[in-house]
Amino acid sequence: MNSSFQAPIGTHDVLAPQSALWEGLVATFAQLAFQYGFTLALTPMFEEIGVFNRGIGENSDVATKEMYVFQDRGDRTYALRPEGTASVVRAFIQHQPTTPYKAWYVTPAFRYERPQAGRYRQHHQLGVEAIGTDDPAIDVEVIALAWRFYQALGLRRVRLLINSMGHDECRGRYVNVLKGHLEEWREQLCDEHQKTWIQNPLRVLDCKRESCINVVNDGPLLPDFLCSECANHFASVRKGLAVLGIESTLDPRLVRGFDYYTRTTFEFVAEALGNAQNAIGGGGRYDGLSEQLGGKPAGGIGFGSGIERLLLAREAEGITQNLINRTIDLFVVDTSGLDVATVVVDELRNQGYAVVRSFDARSMKSQMKLADRSGAALALLIGPQEAESDQITIRDLRGEDFERDQQLVAREDLIFTLRQRLKK
RNA sequence: GUGGGCGUAGCUCAGUUGGUUAGAGCGCCAGGUUGUGGUCCUGGAGGUCGCGGGUUCGACCCCCGUCGCUCACCCCA
C-alpha cells in the first residue's frame, strides 16, 4: 500500500455504491435534455489551447493559472478542458449544424488548483448549449431545464441569481464608468484588487472582502447601462421565467468568471451548502464566442452544473432517494460444479433479469451469505440433486418466514415461475 | 500559490511519562449440521504505525524534512 499508486491530487475514484448516484443523476439529466430537444454532443477532452483561453479570457484565473496545458509529441500545445462550452461551440463552427443547435453533454473538467470541499482538479459537469438564436425564449428554456433538473434531483433550497451583462457596447460603457469609480476609490480596495482592478475591473464585483464590497456598493450597476435592446431582452427573459413560476433574483453584481458572457448570466446557489463552494450551476449567453473562435456570428446560451456539487447539495438537504434502481434480481447458488448454472444464468440475463453468481466453488453456506448480501430478492439453488433431476430450488431471501419459503420447480418452468414471483 | 488540522489493519479509531511479540469494533475468510443466508459462538488472515533522516541503550510516541489527505483564502462547478 505504501509504495503503490493512488489517484492524483484532487481526483477521486467513484465506486459503488456512490457510483449508482452518478448513474441516476446522469440518466435523469439525459432524459430531461431529450425532452427539451437537446441531443448529445461528445467532444474531445482536450483542445488547442486557444479554444479555451480566447473565449474565457486571457486574463481570467482559469486561463492564467488553472489550465492543464501540455505539449504532445508533435509539439502542439493542448489544454485539458476547463469547462464545457468552448468545445461545443468549436464543434458547432466546424460542423455547421442547422440552427438552433441544441446539445447536451456530460464531461470531466480540469482545473489546476488546490482542492478543498466541493472543488477538485478533476470534476464533472453536465450541461447544455443552444447556439444560433438570440430569442429570449431560448434563454428561458435553458434556465428552465436547469431548474427542472434540480427539482428532479429533489433539491428544494436552490436560488436562481440572474443578471444581464449587455452586449459589447453596453458592457464597454459600464466598464468605463466602473473603472472611473474604482480609480476614485482604489485605496479602499482589498490588497489583491488594488493591483488587478485595471486589468479586470469586473472581477472586483464579486470580491468577497468587505473593503471591496463597500466600494462596489456605491458604484455603478450593470443593468443601468443596458441599451434598450438588451434591456428588452433581459426583461423578456425575466418575464418568461416568471410565467413558468421560476423565481429569479436580480443580482446586479453577478459577473461570472469567463469573459465570453454577454447579456443573460445566471447562477444557481444551493443554500444548504454553507461554504464558498455553493454554486451548483451557472451559465449565460455568449453572443460573441462563435466569432472569437473564428466562426460566423451566432448567439448562444448554455449552462453547466457540477455533478460533485449537486451530490453534495443533495446530501446537505438530506435527500437519500435513489434516482435509479440498482438492485439485482437473482443470485444463482451453484454447488453442482456442472455447466447447468452457467447456462441458467445466461438464460436469465437474456430474459432481462439482473443475475449474479459466485465463483471459486464456494460452499453452499458461503454462497448463501453472498446471495443475502447481494440484495437479490431470490436465490436459485442448483446442487447435485437439482442438476440430476433437472429442477431448480427457488428460495426467498426477503420474506419474513425465510425458513419455509422454498420452492422446487422444473427447469422448464423456471422463467414462468420467476415472472410471477418477481412480477417482471 | 498561502495558511491551519491530520496521517496506526479494507473502514472507524485506541495506543498510557519513548521500553521488549502494536490492539479493539466493524468488515473479510473459515468452521459451529459435509445442501441453505439475516442473529449468535469459535477460529483465522491482514499492519515495514505515510516515507526518509535525526535524537536515544531503545521511537507509533520526541525533532527535522518530505509526500499525501483534509479544511480555509483566492477563484470557480
> pLDDT tens digits for chain A (424 residues)?
445 788 899 999 998 888 999 999 999 999 999 999 999 999 999 999 999 988 887 777 777 778 999 999 999 999 999 999 999 999 999 999 999 999 999 999 999 999 998 999 999 999 999 999 999 999 999 999 999 999 999 999 999 999 999 998 998 899 889 888 888 888 777 777 777 777 778 888 877 777 778 788 888 889 899 999 999 999 999 999 999 999 999 999 888 878 889 999 999 999 998 777 899 999 999 999 999 999 999 999 999 999 999 999 999 998 988 899 889 999 999 999 889 999 999 999 999 999 999 998 899 999 999 999 999 999 999 999 999 999 999 999 987 655 567 899 999 999 999 999 998 8
- Radius of gyration of chain A measured on its C-alpha atoms: 28
| Nucleotide with smallest C1' distance to residue A196 CA | B74
Protein CA at A368 to nucleotide C1' at B32, angstroms? 16
**Who's near A82: CB < 8 A, 6+ residues apart?**
A52, A56, A62, A66, A67, A68, A109, A110, A111
Q: Which nucleotide is nearest to A206 (CA to C1')?
A: B75
Length A36 CA → B26 C1' (Å): 47
Task: Name the closest residue (CA) to the C1' of nucleotide B10.
Answer: A1
Which nucleotide's C1' atom has the smallest distance to the CA of A116? B71
Give nearest nucleotide to A387 (CA–C1').
B35
Q: Round to a whole number and report the distance in Å from the CA of A324 to the C1' of B74.
A: 38
Distance set, CA A413 to CA A23, A296, A328, A392 (Å): 34, 65, 21, 9
- Measure, in angstroms, how far nucleotide B14 C1' is from residue A15 CA: 29
Judged by C1' against the alpha carbon of A111, the nearest nucleotide is B76
Q: Whole-number Å distance, CA A331 to C1' B20?
A: 51
Average pLDDT, chain A: 91
Domains of chain A: 18-167+227-316 (3.30.930.10), 330-422 (3.40.50.800)
Ramachandran sector of residue A245 (left: φ over 0; alpha: ψ -120 to 50; beta: rest) = left
Report chain B positions within 7 A of protein CB atoms: 1-3, 10, 28-32, 35-38, 47-48, 50-51, 68-77
- The spacing between the Cα labelled CA in A331 and the C1' in B46, in angstroms, equals 29
